[in-house]
Each structure stands twice: as structure tokens, then as C-alpha cells.
Amino acid sequence: MALAATPGSITMTAVAMLTFPRALEPSKGPKNKVFDVNLNINDGPEQTTLGLLRYFVPDKLMDAVEKINDFTQVFFIATVTAMPPSGPADKTIVTHNVDAWSEYAFIGDIIELIFIENVDNDVEPYINISGTVTNSNRNDSSFSMHPSQYCNLLHQSHEFPAHLLITNSKRWSTKKPLPAIGSGVSVGGFLHHIHRNSDLSLSSFDIDVSNITYITNRIKSSSDAGPSQSTCGRHSRTRFNYKAHHSATPKHDITPSQDSNPTSSKRKNTDLEDTTADSEDAEEDAVKSDDVPTKRPHTEKKIAYMLIINFSTPGFGVFPTALIN
């Protein structure tokens, strides 16, 4: 049994062709723009998909936007939903090249806009959807979601009919993560086709799933839970406690040697300024003659060497004080 549309979230990330910028409310200034966006995705009988997106243009992009007089390649991130048959609330924002609102497949608000050049347009848009599963089909490993998201241009929420397919892959060769009806999930995938009904109304946005996360609270019983194997706790072997060693670890400026001999590089160590003039002269002579002095303060190279050893062995997060004092 399928469920009705539920509140959710839809975000689109895509490479597209942008055209025809116009002010949404000219009386309030030129920054609030509306654009026609073309995606290289089949939309029913059409070879491309048309969308209507709003963007409040920042000052740094105003010149570039004002100079758009043809199709311009962009990368964008936008919150979107399906275009309703009645179109947006403001009917004056349609272009003279569009015959009906049904020509637009989606409508929304741009979050980020970047102008690009000479990038392959044959890239499917990436869609992130969060919401409730409204239908599930084990026969073809597909499920449906109808999240409803608010759109500024519509002044209301509207549903986004998504049909999601879990394709055959090595990642899910054993068992596909097909969610049940009513599950709350967050899904990411590539939009590859848009289906329309005979009256050209939108039927579904077809998406190939690349990632799925359950966001409903499903807690296993203690008998089902296995032993804890957390590796990111207090005693983690892969995390260094910077705060605990911040005051004990001296800071050093390390310049990589250009020679295979580690003593041939000249270094500046500001933490050793309290040494005597004799020891400074001895160290300088040692550097010039490529001889390592028999007694010298712990330098940055020795400390770097100790760090490498500790990083390559278990328990690297503990540094003996005698090595760095």
C-alpha cells in the first residue's frame, strides 16, 4: 500500500547551462534573479530538461550574471521540487520561449552558483532526498518517495515524485538495502530520466541510488547487539590528543632537506635561543662541516624522527617526555 506525500528535503547538484536571467521583482532591485536552467537529461520526449531557479545574486557575481546573453555553463547546488501544472505564483517570470508551465520539470532556489568553462555537460545531476518511503518493490529492487518541500517561487510546498532504483553492483551483490514502506531514509543518487504522463504532467524522476541511510530510530535489542568494536573512543589508535600534548610539545620550524645527508640542511630553531654562544658556534660549525656534534640540544629533526617512529607503531598517541624536552 502506497503512502501519500510527506514532508522532506530535495537537493540537486549539477553541471548545467544557464540562460535568460531576469529580476524577480524589478522594483526591489536587480539582485533577486530568476534563471532558466537546462540539464542534459531526457525529459519525456525532449532530449534536455528545463528548470526554473531563483537566486539572490551576491555582489561578486553581479557583473558575470548581468553579462549573460546566451547559454552559460555553470555548476550549481539548489533545493528543488517538481513544477506543478499551475506554475509559480508569479506568472510574469516565464520566458517568451516557453509555451506552458509543463515545459519546466523542476523549480527551486539556488544555494551556490559557480561559473565554469569547457566542462563535459554529459554529467548526470546528483540528487539528495530525505523523507519517507511511500512504496517499495522487491521484484525490481526499487522504491518511491514523494517528499514535499517548500519553494519560494511557489509560495507553498509541492511534492517531488521520485522513483529510486537500486542497481546491480558489487557493493550490494549479497543483499540490496531496499527500505520498507514507511521507513525514513536519506538517499543520494544520479538523476537519469524524467517520465511524463500522456497529458505531459510529471510522472516521476528516475534516480539510480548510490547511497542510502536510514534516519528512523531503529534500536536493536541487547541480545542482538554484538560486542562493541569502536575505534574512535578515548583510547583510539588513530587519533592524536592535541590538547593533552599542546603545552608539552615545543614548536619547531622544519625545512625539508634538499640533500640525502640530514645534517647538510641549515635550520632555524627559535626555541633554542637560550643556549650559550659557545654551543651556537659549535652547532653552526657542525652544520658547515657536515659533522654531527657529540652533544647538542634536541633539534627539530630528531623530534620529527621520533614522531615518525611513533606514528608507525601502536600507541603513537603517547610521547615520552624525555624525547621532546
Tens-digit pLDDT profile for residues 268-297: 444 444 444 444 444 444 444 444 444 444
255 grid coordinates: 625545512
- Quote the CA–CA distance of 22 and 34 in Å, as a whole number: 5
Strand (E) or helix (H) holding 114: strand 104-115
Phi, psi values for residue 192, rounded to 5°: -120, -10
pLDDT over 70 at 11, yes or no: yes
pLDDT over 80 at 99, yes or no: no
Residue 75's closest CA among 8, 121, 127, 28? 121
Half-sphere exposure of 244 (CA within 13 A, CB side): 9
Query: Mean pLDDT score of the chain, rounded to an integer?
Result: 75
What share of the chain in percent tops pLDDT 90?
39
pLDDT for 250-259, tens place per residue?
Answer: 554 544 544 4
Q: What share of the chain is helix, strand, coil (3-state, %, to 5)?
A: 15, 35, 50
Residue 127's closest CA among 84, 65, 175, 189? 189
pLDDT for 229-241, tens place per residue?
Answer: 544 445 546 666 6
pLDDT of residue 3: 66
| Under 8 Å between Cβ of 139 and 84 | no
Strand (E) or helix (H) holding 135: strand 126-137
pLDDT of residue 171: 84
pLDDT over 50 at 30, yes or no: yes
Q: Is the alpha carbon torsion for 91, 95, 98, 102 positive or negative?
A: negative
- CB-CB neighbours of 289 under 10 Å: 10
Q: Once rounded to an integer, what is the mean pLDDT over residues 97-125?
A: 88
All structural domains of the chain with their residue ranges: 1-216, 242-324
Is the CATH number of domain 1-216 2.40.50.140? yes
Q: 209 has which bridge partners?
A: 189
pLDDT over 50 at 219, yes or no: no
pLDDT of residue 248: 52
pLDDT over 80 at 314, yes or no: no
- Torsion on CA atoms 270, 276, 277, 279, rounded to nearest 10: -90
pLDDT for 31-85, tens place per residue?
Answer: 889 999 999 999 988 889 999 999 999 999 999 998 887 899 999 999 999 998 8
Strand (E) or helix (H) holding 192: strand 184-196
- Quote the CA–CA distance of 108 and 313 in Å, as a whole number: 52
pLDDT of residue 95: 62
- Quote the CA–CA distance of 48 and 15 in Å, as a whole number: 13
Q: Once rounded to an integer, what is the mean pLDDT over residues 150-162?
A: 92
